[in-house]
Chains A and B, each alone.
Chain A
Amino acid sequence: MRLELRDVKYVYAPGTPFEVEALRGVSLAVEPGEVLGIVGGTGSGKSTLVQHMNLLLTPTSGEVLVDGVDARSLEKRELRRRVGLVFQFPESALFAPTVEEDVAFAPRQLGLDEEEVQERVRESLRALRAGDLAARSPFALSGGEKRRAAIAGVLAMKPEVLVLDEPTAGLDPATREELLALILDLREAGISVVLVSHDLDEVAEVADRLCALHEGRVRAMGTPAEVFYRDPTRAPATVRVASLLKESKPEIIGVPVRFEETLAALRTLPGV
């Protein structure tokens, strides 16, 4: 499916002394089967933005379109199944006695029959390499295991778009690599992924397109190469190295972003 936001504005606590304008007119689209990276500093509106994608927050003005249809006209539960949202630190919402039951929560809410529920639980736990955690209490797991269990709980709805808000925050490098691999697997399976992150290096590795937010507005939008090479000082290490070397070595061709691309580009230099 294609998810589009059109001139979305959002104001927290309007009409009170606590009023905050979090989004000041954001337009973007999540194309079918792509990985869209959303980057931006703290307070740029990333987390507010993603909550509009399944209408947990309703825009103060502007609209959210699902395949061209106003999302407000859709059934809420169906919308939230199709657009799976994983909050930041999703492990803080684990509640069931076992991981298995926690992951089964969403499919049960969908009213699926028990066999299908179990199948989905197994499938999503396997996708997150968390099959061995099924019978354990979510409160007795390590941070990384909890995170994987929580993400499995959303994946079990078989969403068409998976929105991940800072999924790797505070994770060990191994779990983080696994999560990034999962994102690419999902794309392979035709699921669109929205990856919110302030880690430019990880976004560089997996994103097809990039949206940079700044103070509630889209500051830049395009392929990672377009966005990062516009301002290489605020780019991942790969882009910073490549663009610095290019100043003295014009023979470096292209605009490498991913680690492997950058390595390949540098290897074309004589003597490397």
Chain B
Amino acid sequence: MTTRSLGQFYPVSSPVHALDPRAKILAAAVFVAGLFLIDTTLGLLFVAAALTALVAVSRIPAGTFLRILRPVLFIVALTILIQVLFSREGLTLIEWGFLEVHSGGVRKGFFLALRILLLVSSAGLLTATTAPVALADGIEDLLSPLKRVRFPAHEVAMMMTIALRFIPTLGEEAEKIKGAQAARGADFSEGGPLRRARSLVPVLVPLTVGAFRRADELAEAMESRGYRGGEGRTRYRELRFRKGDALALAVTLLVLLVGILL
């Protein structure tokens, strides 16, 4: 009965959590696009300040939010390193053998690092404040105009929802199987990478078998409750685009505009 977070969703109630998922998805998309139009460090810093304020409003603890950024820290560090070491713009700051550090490189490295961090932060804030199912609903709704060109928007969203829904279930199942094999003397932390990979076979085989069984059961359960695809299907939770959502989008655009102009 391990209860764990679904992806990165952090369930507290805040004005950001309460926004319509479509508004958040659109805002995040616009934000990401806008980032590439900002070409000054000052502009990025302004946008970063606005995003920091938004994270504070979303009531996600700073530590939790920083954990979202951890996976990209390596890429950020690498970007800075490459810029600092190989860029030959601006004043020479340090010369040490064949290594030269120029002021332009430092500035560029910082600029790119900030841009990457902002990209990931905006996506992270979206997934941290939007329940996976709401996210899928939002995507379905935003994709629905494509139904006219026969794009299966409902089916894609349903598959996403199911996949998201079963991540924790499969995670729990994997934990259970790992426990059962550990009770039979399996050790998952011993030996080199090859041996460790092999020690996962007793977990992966039953996990896969179980996943197929679950898929069958789910399909049967859905059919027996009359599921026949997206045609004419209504929703329990209707998405509602309110004034606040429009306001949020407008503010996002405004912040980006200021950032671009700075």
Contact = CB atoms under 8 A, between A and B. Distances in A.
A22 B2 CA distance: 10
Contacts of B202: 93, 95-96, 105
B4 to A, nearest CB: 6
26 contacts: A12-B1, A12-B3, A13-B2, A13-B4, A20-B3, A47-B1, A56-B179, A80-B184, A81-B185, A85-B180, A87-B180, A87-B183, A92-B173, A92-B180, A92-B206, A92-B210, A93-B181, A95-B205, A105-B185, A105-B186, A105-B202, A106-B184, A109-B185, A109-B187, A154-B183, A157-B184
Interface stretch (B5-13, B138-146, B149-157, B231-239): B5-13
A90 interface: yes
B1 A22 contact: yes
A243 B208 CA distance: 50
A133 interface: no
A20 B176 CA distance: 18
Contacts of A12: 1-3
B185 A93 contact: no
Interface in B187-229: 187, 201-203, 205-206, 209-210
Interface of A: 12-13, 16-18, 20, 22, 43, 47-48, 51, 54, 56, 77, 80-81, 84-87, 90, 92-96, 105-106, 109-110, 139, 153-154, 157
A271 to B, nearest CB: 51
A92 B183 contact: no
Contacts, number: 78
B248 interface: no
Interface of B is mostly: helix
A93 to B, nearest CB: 4
Query: B interface, how many residues as a size bin?
Result: 20 to 34
A106 B173 contact: no
A54 B183 contact: yes
A38 B5 CA distance: 31
Given A94-B206, A95-B201, 20 more contacts: A12-B1, A13-B4, A17-B11, A20-B1, A43-B1, A51-B179, A56-B182, A84-B183, A86-B183, A87-B176, A87-B179, A92-B206, A92-B210, A93-B184, A95-B202, A95-B206, A96-B202, A105-B181, A106-B184, A157-B185
Interface of B: 1-5, 10-12, 173, 176-177, 179-187, 201-203, 205-206, 209-210
B3 to A, nearest CB: 4
Contacts of A154: 183-184
Given A17-B11, A18-B3, A48-B1, A110 B185 contact: yes
B185 A77 contact: yes
Contacts of B11: 17
Nearest to A19: B3
Contacts of A106: 184-185
Contacts of B177: 92-93
Contacts of B205: 95
A56 B188 CA distance: 13
Contacts of B12: 17
